[in-house]
Structures are given as C-alpha cells and as structure tokens.
Amino acid sequence: MTTRIGITGAAGRMGRTLIEAIGQADGMVLTAAIERPENTLVGADSGELSGQEKNGVAVVSSLADVIGDIDVLIDFSVPDATMVNLALCSTSGVAMVIGTTGFTPEQQGDIEQAASLVPICKASNFSTGVNVCFKLLDMAARVLGDDVDIEVYEAHHRHKIDAPSGTALSMGKVVADALGRDLDTVAVYGREGQTGARDRNTIGFATVRAGDIVGDHTVTFAADGERVEITHKASSRMSFARGAVRAAGWLVGQNSGFYDMQDVLGL
C-alpha cells in the first residue's frame, strides 16, 4: 500500500527537506505540495524545488484544491495556518501529522477534539533521538528525584518565532510529570537581577536564538558534587523530516485518535 502525502510550506526549509525525505522512503509518495498564494514559487515543480529530479507535483496555493489527492497532511507551519488546515482535513477524512509548535491552550483543545474524527499525530519533535531522550529524562528524574536542580537549555536558528521551543517544553513536562510537579507552576523562564537563592522545586529554561542552529537541547540535573546532562543536537532537519514521514506511514493504519511520536516508536 502506498501512502499519499501532502505537505504545507513546500518552499520553506522544512518543506524542502520533507520533499526529499518522502522521495527516499519506501511506500510513500508526495502527491501535494502547498504554499501561501503570495509565494513566488507557486507553480514550480516540488522535486526541483528540493534539489531533486522533477517529480511532476507542482506547488499549489490551496489545500482545498488537492485535499482529495492525499491520505495524510504533514504540517510544519504556524498555529493559525495549521488550524485552518486542521478544519479541512478533519471534515475530509485526511489524517494529519502536526509538527507546528506554539499553540494556545484553546487551539490545543481544538486539535484534540478533531482527533475524534481523524487520526492525528502531534509532536514537539519528530526526531527518533529526541524521543529516546524523553524516556531517558523520565528515568533520570525518577532516580535523582528532589535532590537535584533541573535546568533546560535550548538553542535554535534566528528565524524561530516561539520560545522556549516546543521540544524544551516537552522535556520540562516529562521531568515535571515524573516528579509529580505542575510545570505551569514551577517553570522559570529566564533570570535577571537579584533573583535570590534558587528554589529546588523549580525547572529553569534558557533560550538562545542565533545563526542557523538547527536545534540543541540539554537538560541538566545538578547536585552538590556532580551533575547529569542529557543532550540532543540536531545537525540537519532530515532527522525531523524522516521521523514525520515515518509517523505519516504509521498513522494511516490507525483509528481516529490523538497520537504522538512515542506511540509511533512504541515507547
């Protein structure tokens, strides 16, 4: 069985990488590539756009025009655009892989509600390595417990518009859940001035935006005399793209429901 995949943001950095990843995956075929109407690359061959051979799939400006040609939509865009695409996919019976981050609680609720109609896989990070890190973080938090200070560091390219990254927040939530803490209550986002002594129950976040950093994440568990650091560094978007394509292939065999990459990997 061949899975027909559509992608949004086809002319962007992630979109082009997804096109390449789909071309490399067995049983997957790109059948739709969507961009904003004002993008000058609408009409271009999506294969050539990604630096590959022509694939005959032209970039179009409307998901509605190609919704009948796809089984799964992979969406790495911005929250408002994703929500528009979600409405169309959920009423058209098209599954979704969502890599967009920065949703409001209300938007998150709408996504989970739409999962009663179609299968949806949403993750802050589709890298296999990052999802392994989530399991390691849960283990470390449970073993080290309340005897350590916990800090989350993340760095991304200058174009990323939300902070902290969705992956950093997911890492913090994994740790908080393992310790029985509410991340919304204990998170500290940056420090400045006379902050006083550190509250051990807090989980700190530090954010860097610079250059073309694809994505670095480190969680530090620091005690007196030693520290444990769990780090993931991405050197290419291909790790995210391959994971998203893997999720798309997995999703078409599932019932309607809300899934994440942990489900895809059986973790």
Name the phi and psi angles at 145, rounded to 5.
60, -135
Half-sphere exposure of 18 (CA within 13 A, CB side): 31
The single residue of 54, 122, 156, 233 carrying the catalytic annotation is 156
9 Rama sector, left if φ>0, alpha if ψ -120 to 50, beta otherwise = left
Other CB atoms within 10 A of residue 42 CB: 18
The single residue of 122, 135, 160, 232 carrying the catalytic annotation is 160
Whether residue 164 is preceded by a cis peptide bond, meaning omega within 30 degrees of 0, is: yes
Hey, what amino acid is at 15?
G
In the chain, what is the straight-line distance between the N-terminal and C-terminal CA atoms, in Å? 25
The yes-or-no answer on residue 135 being catalytic is no
Tokens at 81, concatenated: 């655009």
Other CB atoms within 10 A of residue 51 CB: 10
The yes-or-no answer on residue 173 being catalytic is no
**What residues are annotated to the active site?**
156, 160
